[in-house]
């Protein structure tokens, strides 16, 4: 009950601070993308080139045109890769967010816990564009919008809760151990290949498939495929859903608790 009250208090505070959050997101977006020569196009060029190179390698190098389940490879690949790029970007940027915005932390009246949140909203602006890309790609492959597409809202919410918990946890620890950001970057590369994004989950033999289920990011990437490509409701995979939310809520509560405990010491270290 205590954590439920804290959660609703957080939502209420979030609503009250919506203008401040909006201004911070706007400034963060401008600083990140509008300070270079190419400006905003960089936000789309980098993930676009990653997708293009990997698509070329697997389509023409490994001659993959369909998956093991008979699904067209390119839409299947895009549906998994785009949410992963969003996840990896937020993990990387949010872990160092408190150090980046240390000048705000020194202001005692500032709501410090919104800083990792700002990084999530900034990343979502670009991610929304790529969700549209997924939709266009599906239509160009003869896969037209349906009611299943509406559950993208659910998967975005699930991603938001998971990334906020991880953002609070890693950003607060990074204030005291600056190697956390570097560890996160290495971990992102490892988790990418451990998550069935480039390879099909069905290739794992027998009980080995449970290894993928232990990865909460797999639930998100597979969820995008359920939504746009396979037309499957999330509650049909109730075991995956229950496990994901148990892990995600644990991470969310852990991240919130660690962040709250360490917040009084941020100003002393920064």
Which DSSP symbol is given to 215?
-
pLDDT at 80: 87
Average pLDDT over residues 216-234: 89
| Residue 32 maps to a domain | no
| Residue 165 maps to a domain | yes
Query: Among 121, 93, 113, which Cα is nearest to 188's?
Result: 93
Query: Among 199, 230, 229, which Cα is nearest to 212's?
Result: 199
CB neighbour list of residue 6: distance below 8 Å, 6 or more residues apart: 256
Confidence of residue 109 (pLDDT cuts 50, 70, 90): low
CB neighbour list of residue 28: distance below 8 Å, 6 or more residues apart: 118, 119, 122
| Residue 94 maps to a domain | yes
pLDDT at 234: 87
| Residue 242 maps to a domain | yes
User: Please, are residues 2 and 9 in contact by the beta-carbon 8 Å criterion?
Assistant: no
Average pLDDT over residues 42-48: 70
User: Please, are residues 21 and 118 in contact by the beta-carbon 8 Å criterion?
Assistant: yes
CA distances to 202, 220, 223, 232 from 236, in Å: 18, 15, 11, 7
pLDDT at 90: 93
| Residue 131 maps to a domain | yes
pTM: 0.87
pLDDT at 20: 78
Nearest-5° Cα angle at 260, 258 to 261: 65
Domain range for residue 53?
A: 44-269
| Residue 19 maps to a domain | no
| Residue 234 maps to a domain | yes
Could you read off the pLDDT of 130-153 as tens digits, one per residue? 898 888 888 887 888 889 999 999
Average pLDDT over residues 41-60: 70
| Residue 162 maps to a domain | yes
User: What domain count does the chain have?
Assistant: 1
């Amino acid at each position: 009950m205590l954590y439920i009250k804290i959660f609703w208090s957080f939502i209420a505070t979030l609503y009250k601070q919506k203008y401040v959050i909006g201004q911070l997101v706007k400034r963060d977006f401008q600083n990140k993308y509008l300070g270079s020569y190419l400006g905003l196009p960089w936000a789309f060029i980098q993930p676009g080139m990653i997708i293009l190179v990997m698509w070329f390698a697997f389509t023409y190098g490994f001659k993959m045109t369909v998956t093991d389940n008979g699904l067209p490879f390119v839409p299947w690949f895009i549906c998994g890769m785009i949410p992963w790029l969003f996840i990896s970007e937020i993990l990387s940027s949010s872990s160092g967010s408190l150090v980046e915005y240390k000048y705000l932390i020194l202001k005692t009246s500032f709501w410090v816990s919104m800083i990792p949140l700002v990084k999530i909203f900034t990343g979502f602006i670009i991610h929304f564009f790529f969700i549209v890309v997924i939709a266009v790609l599906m239509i160009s492959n003869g896969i037209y919008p349906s009611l299943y597409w509406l559950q993208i809202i659910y998967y975005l919410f699930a991603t938001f809760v998971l990334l906020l918990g991880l953002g609070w946890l890693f950003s607060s620890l990074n204030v005291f151990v600056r190697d956390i950001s570097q560890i996160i970057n290495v971990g992102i590369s490892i988790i990418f290949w451990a998550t069935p994004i480039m390879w099909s989950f069905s290739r794992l033999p027998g009980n080995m498939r449970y290894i993928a289920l232990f990865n909460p990011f797999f639930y998100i990437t597979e969820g995008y495929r359920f939504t746009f490509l396979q037309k499957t409701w999330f509650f049909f995979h109730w075991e995956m859903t229950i496990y994901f939310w148990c892990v995600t809520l644990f991470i969310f509560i852990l991240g919130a608790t660690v962040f709250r405990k360490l917040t009084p010491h941020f100003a002393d270290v920064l």
